[in-house]
Amino acid sequence: MSDGTINVGLPDGNINMRIGNDGGIGAATVSGGVLNCSGNLVVGRARNVTDEVETPSDGLLTVLGGIINVGSAIAPSDLSIGKQYGKGVLEMSDGVINVIGDVYVGENVVQIIEDPYQEIPRPGIGRLTMAGGLISISDANSLLICTDGSTGLVELVDGLIMAGGLEIGPPGSGGKMDIREGTLVLNGNQMDYVLDLITAGLLTAYGTDGSGPVIQWQYDYNVRNPGKTTVSAIPEPATLILLSLGGLVLRHRKRRA
């Protein structure tokens, strides 16, 4: 898609759009125009949970520009990257994605069997790599990475992610968010929570494991963005030179801005 408008469903129709579904392989590229999805937008989703056979699906969404709108005030909907045994990848270098709902990077769907009662987890594998542009998630919703046993990675190489909240699976669960030149903005005062994520190694900067003084964290409340918590990271000058050469294991220094 490079121009024009595509409407999937009506504002109150709650019609889903899936890229890579039911064991298939799907890819979509948006470089311009406007894509409106009234329901959920799912990138990589396996067969319906009632199917006992695991049939993975691969989905790839590349965003080079344009605008993607998911959900509406009438019918909030989610963007899911890697859901229910599916493997999903979203690569974004420009453009805008507006989501009135949650954004999942690695989403688990639990199948319920009544007799005998069983709960069968069906985790997904998701990756979001953002080198530019804007992802805007409504203040009432969150960016959810690797929840309930899935695997999820967010690489905020550049660009801006705005969300009401952020959740990353517990240590060892396969979930992580790495911030480089990009910026994360969360609603309200979430300073203590951000520090907890950094301490746990779930939120990293420039790939660092947090064991030394190379990266300078900057996170503040109500300073750069009124009523918001803003998170970014800056390498020290010497580190910038080494980054350009490659092969450096980065470490970070935590500091309240």
Give the phi and the psi of residue 57 in degrees, each rounded to 5: -130, 150
Contacts of 184 (CB under 8 A, 6+ apart): 156, 160, 161, 163, 166, 177, 230, 231, 232
Could you read off the pLDDT of 171-217 as tens digits, one per residue? 767 789 999 999 999 999 999 999 999 988 899 998 875 555 557 88
pLDDT at 52: 53
Examine the pLDDT at 257 and tell me if it is beyond 70. Answer: no
pLDDT at 253: 38
pTM above 0.75, yes or no: yes
pLDDT at 102: 96
The mean pLDDT of the chain is 85
Contacts of 173 (CB under 8 A, 6+ apart): 146, 149, 151
Could you read off the pLDDT of 13-31 as tens digits, one per residue? 678 899 998 878 999 999 9
The radius of gyration of the chain's CA atoms, rounded to the nearest angstrom, is: 19
**Which amino acid is located at 113 in the chain?**
I
Cβ–Cβ < 8 Å for 87, 44: yes
Could you read off the pLDDT of 59-82 as tens digits, one per residue? 999 999 999 999 988 889 999 999
In whole angstroms, what is the distance from residue 84 CA to residue 242 CA? 40
